[in-house]
Amino acid sequence: MSGATSPDLAARLRSAGLRPTRQRVALARALFEREHHHVTAESLHAEAKAARNPVSLATVYNTLNQFRDAGLLREVVVAPGRSYFDTNTGHHHHFYVETDGELHDFPSDKVTIEGLPVPPKGTKLSRVDVIVRVRR
Amino acid sequence: MSGATSPDLAARLRSAGLRPTRQRVALARALFEREHHHVTAESLHAEAKAARNPVSLATVYNTLNQFRDAGLLREVVVAPGRSYFDTNTGHHHHFYVETDGELHDFPSDKVTIEGLPVPPKGTKLSRVDVIVRVRR
DNA sequence: CAAGCAGTTTAGAACAATTCTAAAACTGCA
DNA sequence: TGCAGTTTTAGAATTGTTCTAAACTGCTTG
């Protein structure tokens, strides 16, 4: 097995202004070296432990916030006290299955939103979130 | 001063299956006898106290949840740990000013969303939330 | 209108998610 | 290799919300 730290990841962290520490690289691997997915702080913490790369929960929180601030992750709030981090930072929207807390992406290329009002004076657009809520 | 309980409100609560107790009527007044607005549990609790109708915080939470379940209120989650209740239950969307936590409605009549994918098998649409995030 | 019971309210404890703190451990550079 | 500044960590603290058990109230019935 390749125990080598992916140089890409280290570089990516560095260029985001983050030192590629053991913990950050471990979390970055769990996050970015696979398909796009959604994590919570708890789930990522558990995943890191399972991969024999234990990271304290506080560090998981710090790291998720840093990655989000650096634009590496996108935070999606679907319900009170339920915050997901999405490794897909491109344009897309979400399905949220209310009955079991699942979150799924769907691409935004087919979706067009028209007639949105202009942002209030003195503000600039940050982004538009569309959450399609469904239940079983 | 008119100490009379608005009969409309009492009836509205009753038909939602809720006994029109002093506390629920007091909160319903604060919520529904004025223009549409957004409250948090804390803000409503403070408002009730200021109106000399103190209600315990637990009751405020219970009541907000009951009103939401009864369709009298709509819950809007904009940020982790920040849940608003909106007295406007009609079709509309939201502006969220991230930099200062303000939430504003905007009507959905001008807004059209096209190309949304069909809900996953076995699920039915609950609603579509559009949150336009802006910053100062 | 008194009694009784289910539904409500309440203070405070409990809980869950997240952030803070202060100390120990690292990282990167000289 | 030494050192200054970062980062990590365990655990405490904070925040927002729900739970608990006891007191109370609104409604119905006799």
Nearest CA-CA partner of A82 in A107, A101, A110: A101
Q: Give the separation between CA B28 and CA B39, rounded to whole angstroms.
A: 12
Domains identified in chain B, total number: 1
Say if B122 falls within a structural domain.
Answer: yes
Q: Per mean pLDDT, which range of A92-96, A126-130, B79-83 is the poorest?
A: B79-83
Of A122, A126, A134, which is closest to B119 when you measure between CB atoms? A134
State how far residue A131 is from chain B, nearest Cα, in angstroms.
Answer: 5
Instruction: Name the closest nucleotide to A61, judged by C1' and CA.
Output: C18
Chain A residues near residue B122 by CB distance under 8 angstroms: 136
Split at pLDDT 50, 70, 90, the class of A6 is low
The single-letter code of the amino acid at B104 is H
Split at pLDDT 50, 70, 90, the class of B5 is very low
A7 CA vs D18 C1’ separation (Å): 46
Say if A2 falls within a structural domain.
Answer: no
pLDDT of residue B13: 95
Q: Is A13 exposed, middle or buried (0-12, 13-18, 19+ CB in 10 A)?
A: buried
CATH number, domain at B86? 1.10.10.10
pLDDT of residue B24: 97
Dihedral angle, C-alpha B10, B11, B17, B19, nearest 10 °:
30
Say if A52 falls within a structural domain.
Answer: yes
Say if B1 falls within a structural domain.
Answer: no
Average pLDDT, chain B: 90
Estimate the share of chain A in helix, then strand, then coil, as percent rounded to the nearest 5: 30, 30, 40
Nearest chain A alpha carbon to B99: A123
Say if B2 falls within a structural domain.
Answer: no
Of A114, A126, A130, which is closest to B128 when you measure between CB atoms? A130
Q: In which domain, by residue range, is B72 found? A: 7-134
* Residue that wins the pLDDT comparison between A108 and A130: A130
Nearest CA-CA partner of B30 in B11, B54, B65, B2: B54
pLDDT of residue A3: 40
pLDDT of residue B117: 87
Query: What value does the mean pLDDT take over residues A31-38?
Result: 95
B114 CA vs C14 C1’ separation (Å): 46
Look up the protein residue whose alpha carbon has the minimum distance to the C1' of D11.
A58
Split at pLDDT 50, 70, 90, the class of B3 is very low
Structure tokens at A40: 């919570």
Distance from chain centroid for Cα B94:
13
Say if A1 falls within a structural domain.
Answer: no
Q: Is the pLDDT of residue B135 over 60?
A: yes
Nearest chain B alpha carbon to A95: B119
- Give B46-103 pLDDT, tens digit per residue: 999 999 999 999 999 999 999 999 999 999 998 888 889 999 999 999 999 988 888 9
Structure tokens at B121: 């098998």
Q: Give the separation between CA A65 and CA B23, rounded to whole angstroms.
A: 40
Split at pLDDT 50, 70, 90, the class of B7 is low
Q: Give the separation between CA A34 and CA A41, rounded to whole angstroms.
A: 18
- Give A40-83 pLDDT, tens digit per residue: 999 999 999 999 999 999 999 999 999 999 999 999 998 888 88
**Which SS3 state, helix, strand or coil, does residue B60 take?**
helix
Average pLDDT, chain A: 90
Q: Give the separation between CA A103 and CA B55, rounded to whole angstroms.
A: 36
Q: Is the pLDDT of residue B136 over 90?
A: no
Report strand pairing: A74-79 vs A38-39: unpaired
Nearest chain A alpha carbon to B112: A114
Say if B103 falls within a structural domain.
Answer: yes
pLDDT of residue B6: 61
**Which SS3 state, helix, strand or coil, does residue A82 take?**
strand
DSSP 8-state code for residue B45:
H
Say if A118 falls within a structural domain.
Answer: yes
